[in-house]
Amino acid sequence: MNRRILYALIALTLCLTLLPVTSLADGPAFKDVKPEDYYYDAVNWAVGAGVTNGTSDTTFSPDDTCTRAQVVTFLWRANGSPEPASKQNPFADVPAGSWYEKPVLWAAESGITNGTSAATFSPEETCICAQIVTFLWRASGWPAPGESKLTAAWPESYFRDAVTWADNLDLLSGAGTAFNAAAPCSRAMTVYYIHGAAFGMRTVRVENMAQLIAAIAPNTHIVLTDGEYNITRWLHNLPEGTAPSAASNNPYVRLEYNYDDYELCLQGLSNFELEAETSGNVHVITECPVANVLTLVDCSNVKLSGLVLGHAVAEAVCTGGVVHMEGCTDVTLDHMDLYGCGTFGLTALRVNGLTVTDSVIRDCTYGIMTLSEVHDALFERLACRNCSHFDQMELLSSNVLFKTCWFTGNAWDEWSSFLRIDDGASARFDGCTFDVAAYRDLVNNSRFNSKVIVQNQTLV
């Protein structure tokens, strides 16, 4: 990869990730941009992030076409309006001091555009859809495009790989009409494409463990077809001579040795979703008694949805957890079923932003969860049942809210408790259901003082 392109990709990714997303209610109320429009969220973002303004205080003019100068300027602003490294202008038709001079110079030196000739950029020429998609693809580091039926008509075109990449990112599917490479790019399409390249996700369907391992990557929504995904059997059925530690050449997948077998670790992922085709009909399991079923390390904006995760081993020999996360930001678990015989259903270390909704943690042999250095965690409609034998929940974290959750059938020994909480931690239980033993331990434990708030509870 060209080093300049790599720098452009890094800068674009960082800046677009950090740009704020505002609502139109916080800015101009454009009468020509409605919530049902495909470009509503993109316009919302673009105006709030300073990528573009409206054409007046009350209009955005979504159907107006964009010139090449305007498109490159939008992209430059989305990247943080960087100062070009070079002051030498290769294009005779880009005047010094013009409003688009710096954007064009930046795009040229970053390899995003080559101009319409060696000496011209054609700034006033209408930008077509093929051109903006190509600009975005190059700004993203010329990623491997994959395959797309869209590009069959243009086998040798300069934009073939760019359109294939955009289609696999689901960037083109929602833009109001079928993609037309030669069509003029409107203001609505321009901000829609830029927004989609920054925050969009490609969707991949998988049917087995090998396909799953290969598909794991940032900006990816993986749909697992119904069935069982057995991590241990996949590793043990590798071609002869393949070491488990080398079973994946995917930089986002680590197969980590744990005592006598391997566990699956996803690392460095951002903007990633793993979803069951039918909630509750996808089982991801391990037969390794000492392994976590799934580990997330240094990941951000990750969602797991509709999966059943657990150990297919006897209770007495299992010392592995179900889901473990470490050094992550903004993780969501939705409609998940986490079951033993693991140590804890959920363990989290140094996590900022954790949301668990409409899920179950059950039959774990040590307890429900351990949260350490976790900030801003929400558990809503979580059922925790039939876990034992030690502290059921260890909260060494702050701002943890349990809302409309159920804690029933859990047990702990005489040296343990339902909840153990650190001096610097805080937790609130709002509208939750407890069995009597858990509730008594929660409200009668003098160690909690004001660190735990229980309100609107129900006893069973």
Q: Say which amino acid occupies 22.
A: T
> Between 417 and 175, where is the model more confident?
417
Where residue 288 falls among pLDDT bands split at 50, 70, 90?
confident
Where residue 437 falls among pLDDT bands split at 50, 70, 90?
confident
Alpha helix segments (H runs only) across 180-316: 187-199, 209-215, 231-236
Is pLDDT above 90 for 313?
no
pLDDT at 203: 74
Question: How many residues belong to the chain?
Answer: 460
Where residue 332 falls among pLDDT bands split at 50, 70, 90?
very high
pLDDT at 176: 67
Average pLDDT over every residue of 390-419: 91
pLDDT at 147: 74
- Could you tell me which residues come within 8 angstroms of residue 133 by beta carbon, excluding any fewer than 6 positions away? 159, 162, 163, 166, 171, 172, 181, 193
Average pLDDT over every residue of 129-145: 86
Highest mean pLDDT among 8-12, 291-295, 358-362, 452-456 belongs to 358-362
Is pLDDT above 70 for 160?
yes
How many whole angstroms separate alpha carbon 137 and alpha carbon 109?
Answer: 15
Q: Which of 127-136, 323-332, 336-345, 346-355 has the weakest average pLDDT?
A: 336-345
- Could you tell me which residues come within 8 angstroms of residue 361 by beta carbon, excluding any fewer than 6 positions away? 322, 338, 339, 345, 346, 368, 369, 382, 383, 384, 385, 387
Give one word for 306, left, alpha or beta, with left for phi > 0 and alpha for psi -120 to 50: left
Contact 307, 276 (CB under 8 A): yes
Average pLDDT over every residue of 59-74: 95
Is pLDDT above 90 for 441?
no
User: What's the chain's average pLDDT?
Assistant: 84
Share of the chain above pLDDT 70, in %: 87
> Between 195 and 170, where is the model more confident?
195
Is pLDDT above 60 for 5?
no
pLDDT at 20: 32
Write down the residue that tokens 């960082």 correspond to: 14
Q: How many helices (H) and strands (E) does the chain have?
A: 10, 22
Average pLDDT over every residue of 1-6: 37
Average pLDDT over every residue of 119-141: 92
- Could you tell me which residues come within 8 angstroms of residue 158 by beta carbon, excluding any fewer than 6 positions away? 130, 134
For the chain, how big is the Rg over CA atoms in Å?
26
Where residue 171 falls among pLDDT bands split at 50, 70, 90?
confident
pLDDT at 322: 94
Is pLDDT above 60 for 10?
no
pLDDT at 248: 62
Q: Which of 41-45, 123-127, 305-309, 351-355 has the weakest average pLDDT?
A: 41-45
Q: Say which amino acid occupies 294.
A: L
Is pLDDT above 90 for 121?
yes
Average pLDDT over every residue of 58-84: 93
Where residue 448 falls among pLDDT bands split at 50, 70, 90?
low
Q: Which residues pair with 453 in a beta bridge?
A: 428
pLDDT at 217: 83
What 418-421 contacts at long range (C-beta under 8 Å, 24+ apart), as own/partner pairs, is 418/391, 418/392, 418/393, 418/442, 419/391, 419/392, 419/393, 419/395, 419/445, 419/448, 419/452, 420/391, 420/393, 420/394, 420/395, 421/394, 421/395, 421/396, 421/447, 421/448, 421/451, 421/452
pTM above 0.75, yes or no: no
Average pLDDT over every residue of 392-396: 91
pLDDT per residue over 365-379, tens digit each?
Answer: 899 999 999 999 999
How many whole angstroms separate alpha carbon 148 and alpha carbon 163?
Answer: 8
> For residue 441, which of 422, 399, 413 has the smallest C-alpha distance?
413
pLDDT per residue over 178-195, tens digit each?
Answer: 888 899 999 999 999 998
Average pLDDT over every residue of 353-375: 94
Q: Which of 33-37, 105-109, 122-126, 201-205 has the weakest average pLDDT?
A: 201-205
Distances (CA, A) of 236 to 240, 251, 288, 395: 10, 21, 11, 37
pLDDT at 75: 93
pLDDT at 1: 35
Is pLDDT above 70 for 242?
no
Where residue 166 falls among pLDDT bands split at 50, 70, 90?
confident
- Could you tell me which residues come within 8 angstroms of residue 219 by beta carbon, excluding any fewer than 6 positions away? 169, 200, 201, 202, 270, 271, 272
Indicate the angle between helix axes 129-139 and 160-168, nearest 10 degrees.
80
How many whole angstroms separate alpha carbon 443 and alpha carbon 446?
Answer: 8
Q: Say which amino acid occupies 124.
A: E
Pairing of strands 253-258, 261-267: antiparallel
